[in-house]
């Protein structure tokens, strides 16, 4: 049987609900041969996942999903195969995580001003395993306290861009993310381009060192995926894909929902080593 990989998975170190150990167990159960842990703005889930997979028939690649912004648009950049233990990376991520904590406090203040007084920063940060606090953690608290009926309502009513408790995030540009990851020996892939809608910016990102496109993504038509595969070939980019699984936090996807042939992992590795 051909080997397969799922290169886009979140753990509870960002806004997923599964521990790295649970992710590894699930991937083994699904018969996947290779996964990448790609938490938002943190590398904390990588070592525990590698440790959990030790001695098993499962390869765990280091990854990350960095939040960036260009022309007012949110752009997620996936980094792979970089030195995730580098001290300057940890320092840079610490800055991003501190900014996320400050933003959480500001969103809680906005909720206060809207008459919601029973959510504290401490309970959110204690409940979350992550240092990369995000809107889903606050949305979960709004649901738990029955202020809204579900996560979607929490975003629609309070947290979505333009809603009354929304606060924008610390932003770096996609180019800065590329420099950071490439400087650590890794490769950067544009995440879910079919959702992000920045096709016109791809040539500029390629010039800045973009290495790949995530052409395989859940709940997309074959036509759309072919379009991005062709775009990747045109720009000599690596093709990747993954489920973007978040455990119970995202019902429409799960580990193994998207599986790419292991050949593509080899291409990713070749792009990094320059062979």
Asked if residue 267 binds ligand AMP (CB under 6 A), the reply is no
| Alpha-carbon torsion (148, 151, 154, 157), positive or negative | negative
> If contact means CB under 5 to 8 A according to the sort of partner, which of Fe ion, Zn ion, ligand AMP, none does residue 169 touch?
ligand AMP
**Of all residues in this chain, which one has the CB nearest to Fe ion in the complex?**
76
> Which of residues 58, 89, 151, 225 is near ligand AMP by CB under 6 A?
151
Least separation, in Å, of the C-beta of 14 and Zn ion? 6
Q: Which of 15, 44, 214, 244 binds Fe ion (CB under 5 A)?
A: 244
3-state SS record for the chain:
CCCEEEEEECCCCCCCCCCHHHHHHHHHHHCCCEEEECCECCCCCHHHHHHHHCCCCCEEEEEEEEEEEECCEEEEEEEECCCCCCHHHHHHHHHHHHHHHHHHHHHHHHHHHCCCCCCCHHHHHHHCCCCCCCHHHHHHHHHHCCCCCCHHHHHHHHHCCCCCCCCCCCCECHHHHHHHHHHCCCEEEECCHHHHCCHHHHHHHHHCCCCEEEEECCCCCHHHHHHHHHHHHHCCCEEEECCCEECECCCCCCCCCCCEEHHHHHHHHHHHHCC
Residues in binding contact with ligand AMP, number by CB under 6 A: 11
Among 56-64, 116-124, 209-217, 239-247, the segment contacting Fe ion (CB under 5 A): 239-247
Q: Which window, 10-18, 42-50, 172-180, 212-220, contacts Zn ion (CB under 5 A)? A: 10-18
Tell me if 169 contacts ligand AMP by CB under 6 A: yes
Q: Return the CA Rg of the chain.
A: 18
244 binds, among Zn ion, Fe ion, ligand AMP, none (CB under 5 to 8 A by kind): Fe ion
The answer to whether 135 contacts Fe ion (rule: CB under 5 A) is no
Which residue of 135, 182, 192, 216 would you call a contact of ligand AMP, by CB under 6 A? 135
Site string for Fe ion, 171-200 (x = CB under 5 A): --------------------x---------
Return the residue of 76, 100, 103, 250 that touches Fe ion, per CB under 5 A: 76
Interaction site with ligand AMP (CB under 6 A): 15, 40, 67, 134-136, 151-152, 155, 160, 169
Q: Residues interacting with Zn ion, by CB under 5 A?
A: 15
């Amino acid at each position: 049987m051909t080997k397969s990989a799922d290169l886009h998975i979140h753990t509870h170190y960002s806004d997923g609900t599964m521990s790295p150990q649970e992710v590894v167990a699930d991937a083994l159960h699904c018969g996947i041969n290779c996964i990448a842990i790609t938490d938002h703005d943190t590398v904390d889930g990588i070592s525990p996942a590698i440790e959990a997979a030790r001695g098993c028939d499962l390869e765990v690649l280091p990854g990350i999903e960095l939040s960036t912004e260009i022309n007012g648009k949110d752009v997620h950049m996936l980094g792979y195969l970089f030195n995730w233990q580098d001290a300057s990376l940890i320092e840079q991520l610490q800055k991003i995580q501190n900014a996320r904590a400050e933003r959480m406090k500001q969103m809680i203040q906005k909720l206060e001003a809207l008459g919601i007084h029973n959510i504290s920063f401490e309970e959110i940060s204690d409940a979350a395993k992550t240092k990369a606090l995000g809107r889903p953690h606050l949305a979960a608290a709004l649901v738990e306290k029955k202020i809204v009926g579900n996560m979607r309502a929490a975003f629609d009513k309070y947290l979505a861009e333009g809603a009354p408790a929304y606060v924008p995030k610390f932003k770096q540009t996609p180019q800065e993310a590329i420099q950071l990851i490439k400087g650590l020996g890794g490769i950067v892939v544009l995440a879910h381009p079919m959702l992000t809608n920045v096709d016109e910016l791809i040539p500029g990102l390629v010039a800045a060192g973009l290495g790949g496109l995530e052409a395989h993504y859940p709940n997309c038509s074959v036509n759309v995926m072919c379009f991005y595969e062709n775009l990747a070939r045109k720009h000599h980019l690596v093709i990747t894909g993954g489920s973007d699984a978040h455990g119970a936090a995202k019902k429409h996807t799960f580990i193994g929902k998207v599986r790419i042939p292991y050949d593509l992992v080899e291409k990713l590795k070749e792009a990094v080593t320059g062979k």
